[in-house]
Structure 1
Amino acid sequence: MNQPRKIMVLGAGDLGRRVFHELAHSTGERHVQLVGRDEEVALRATNLTRFCAVQRGYAPTVSHALTDLTDVARTAERIAAFAPDVIFLAASYQSWWVISTLEASAFQRVYAANYGPWLPMHLVPVMKAMEAVKLSGTEAVVVNAAYPDAVHPALTAIGLSPHIGIGNVANNVPGITAAAADELGRSTADVEVRLVAHHYVSHRLSRHGNSGPAAMGLGIRVDGRDVTAELDTAALLRRLPAQYRRTGGLAGQTMTAASALSVLEPLADGRDAVVHAPGTDGALGGFPVAIESGKFRPLLPDGMTDEEAHAINVSGQAQDGIREIRADGTVVFEPASMAVMTEELGYDCAEMKLSEAEGRAREISERFAAYRARTTG
């Protein structure tokens, strides 16, 4: 009898619980473990998932464990004890949707800074998790949800980048696929989209139907033939926030969970697949990826070179508020984006070494809490 594939979900927040829940609803031989900080939360989520699966006729193997990512040694012990084949990191000090819970005008002002200045909130927990991964001696494939477009190239400098990310570039691919399929009168199963885009572009597309001042690369294939030139792609993209608009915010994390599962399930089942993912093998930004025997290979739009794809993602990175990620992991922020953070939160950081990230994350957290209290009166 084959041993079940083991998947550890490290982080019991909203996204982690969603992904854990779906991974357990499978006929595949899997043991899925949810790891969080709070016993009550982790136990209830694990039991809920098990009971829902039983209700639908599945018999999953699920479990839970406790750790705090700030305790690297304890996290390493948890990883070594479980011996996972795949680890899904779903941990952040402040999820992307949190600022959307601000009063509307305050949200719009803070949102103008874009995502780059918030990098420490995502980088630090991933860095600690990866320190634990390294200490544990595991050979698991590590999949990360927290801003992989920038976290991964920064952590590559110290050999701590996860193998691949999820979300961001992937989240608009189904909408583009549906729009192209409807335009062509074909099934979505007949349409293959290849999108090269940074996190910034992902948010632009769903809200505005274009990439704004950032570059993006898009190829559309039908029956193995490139049909991009035969379509009005600009018109297709404009339909994303209109005819093809979808639920966003916290409720919309269903889409992010689906993007995560598109990567996790092939890895869990040991099968090949074509996906979209950010931060693959430490790369900047997002692009199509072929999963082949647990390894990753870029699968770019027809005629696009690796250099062109990188340049596209660099342009998106700048619009997201990051001017440069240096070879030593130092992050240089765009002054215009940081000026918004300074104006609204009183936070200012021109550049950040990796050794400074934890202190910066703490400062942002404190300043944001004060800002929330101030703007809600």
Structure 2
Amino acid sequence: MASRDILIVGVGSLTRAICSSLATTAAERCTVTLLSGTPRNAAEVCYIANTRAALSGTGTRFRALPAPEYSAEVFRDVLARVQPAVVLNCASHQSPWEGTRAPSAWSDLVARAGFGVTLPLQSVPALTLAEAIAEVSPQALLVNACFPDAVNPVLDALGLPVFCGTGNVLTIAASLRSALSAERHPGTLRVLGHHVHLHTPHHPEDEALAWLDGSPVPEVTEALRAQRGTARAELNAVGGHATALLLGNLVDRRDTLANLPGPSGLPGGYPVRISSGRIRLDLPRGVSREHAVALNQRWAVLDGVQVRPDGGVRFTAEGDPETDKELPDVLSPFPVTDLRERCARMLALRARLRNLPARSSA
């Protein structure tokens, strides 16, 4: 019998939201294993999720495994023990909430250079996990929740398996569906969008694109106003529920239409069709794959980093004198094969800048 188990690496606020929803939405028995370096947090998530599952009468069960570190050895051992159908990565070296929870000169730099500057910090845990999956559990589908718009193209350029991402355009599409349902029941919603579209773009021509039953949605910015006016941390309630539904469909191998970031390692987010464990683009009529990818590469520039098809990484804030002064050559272009080295240099820089006050508190 094929595995119906899910392995989630990393226990943060998104994992909490996902497990809370998985507890009440799974139709058939499923075991969710949480791999975490913080056993107390993992135990809390499992208690709450198991209690919700018991109250709801679902067949989902949650358990926690400790991880002294997110190393290749730990990943290989856990994958061999769990043999999951789906692996969800929620582990990275950089929290998206740092700017509001612990502002510093580092968070100032990220705000100036764009979230894309954190790509090396977002990539390494996913890279190590993907390597272990390729070696030990190649049948498992890797879903990456950590900056998948840019991290998934990195994994693909390195020849590593990645099925898709979650969050970002998935959350945007959920928000659009909610807004449009106030007018009429939406049918098939297709969205081209990027992580950068979680915020309102500076120029209207840089807005995400959406189609409802094949017709363009005319007021995307207005339809996303409620989402963009909501605190980012609160959006995990939406992104977590959407992710839980996606994971359930993947485990049950149900045919699915969705809007997902990084499908098969592509940059940015696209409408997709999932069937029999395979994923392919499901673009609106008249939109080619080449045009959809080109749009997402253009939007990636606005987010601060672009991963080129040849595996080169280019930070798009490299010409900013103020940024260059603080980063020396850390933001120079580099090949994906140098990712771990670049991550180490960025971690050292972050450690220094975290000791300096943010401008607002200086």
TM-score between both structures, scaled by the size of structure 2: 0.88
**CA–CA distance in structure 2, aligned partners of residues 137 and 219 of structure 1:** 37
Superposed CA offset, 1:93-117 (max 9, x none): 1122222334499856642321221
The answer to whether 1:214 aligns with 2:206 is: yes
Distance 2:228 2:150 in 1: 27
The correspondence of residues 1-377 of structure 1 with structure 2, limited to 5 A, is 5-25=4-24, 26-58=26-58, 60-68=60-68, 70-103=70-103, 110-182=110-182, 185-187=183-185, 190-200=186-196, 202-204=197-199, 207=200, 212=204, 214=206, 216-221=208-213, 226-228=214-216, 233-234=218-219, 236-241=220-225, 245-327=228-310, 329-336=311-318, 339=321, 341-343=323-325, 348-375=330-357, 376=361
CA distance in 1, matches of 2:287, 2:104: 40
Partner amino acid, structure 1, of 2:15: G
Mapped partners of 1:27, 1:239: distance in 2 = 32
Q: Say how many residue pairs are matched.
A: 358
Aligned residues of 2:120 and 2:339 also touching (Cα < 8 A):
yes
Aligned to 1:218, the other structure's residue is in SS state strand
Specify whether residues 75 and 339 from structure 1 end up closer, same or farther in structure 2 by C-alpha distance, changes over 3 A only: farther
Counterpart code for 1:43: A
Query: For each residue in 1:219-258, what CA deviation from the matched residue of structure 2 results, as whole angstroms up to 9, or x when unmatched?
Result: 122xxxx333xx6x13x423422x5655222232222213
Distance 2:66 2:59 in 1: 23
Q: 1:175 to 1:51 in 2, by over 3 A?
A: closer
Cα distance, 1:281–1:51 mapped onto 2, change above 3 Å: same
Q: 1:39 to 1:108 in 2, by over 3 A?
A: closer
User: How far apart in 2 are the matches of 1:4 and 1:300?
Assistant: 31
Which amino acid in 2 is paired with 1:254?
A: A
SS at match of 1:361: helix
**TM-aligned CA distance change 1:69 to 1:168, over 3 Å:** farther
SS in 1 for 2:284: coil
CA change 1:374–1:39 in 2 (3 A) is same
Quick check: 1:86–1:267 contact (8 Å CA) kept in 2? yes
Instruction: After TM superposition, give the deviation of residue 79 of structure 1 in Å.
Output: 0.6
Gaps of 5+ in 2: none
Contact 2:98-2:107 within 8 A present in 1 as well: no
Contact 2:150-2:307 within 8 A present in 1 as well? no
Hey, what's the Cα distance between the residues in 2 that align with 1:130 and 1:109? 29
The separation in 2 between residues aligned to 1:335 and 1:203, in whole angstroms, is 19
Question: How far apart, in 2, do the equivalents of 1:215 and 1:324 lie?
Answer: 20
Structure 1: gaps of 5 or more residues? none
Sequence identity (%)? 25
Instruction: Check conservation: 1:124, 1:361, Cα contact below 8 A.
Output: yes
Whether the 8 Å CA contact 1:168–1:278 is kept in 2: the answer is yes
What is the letter of the counterpart of residue 217 of structure 1?
A: L
Contact 1:152/1:161 (<8 A) preserved = no
Maintained 8 Å contact 2:105/2:354 = no
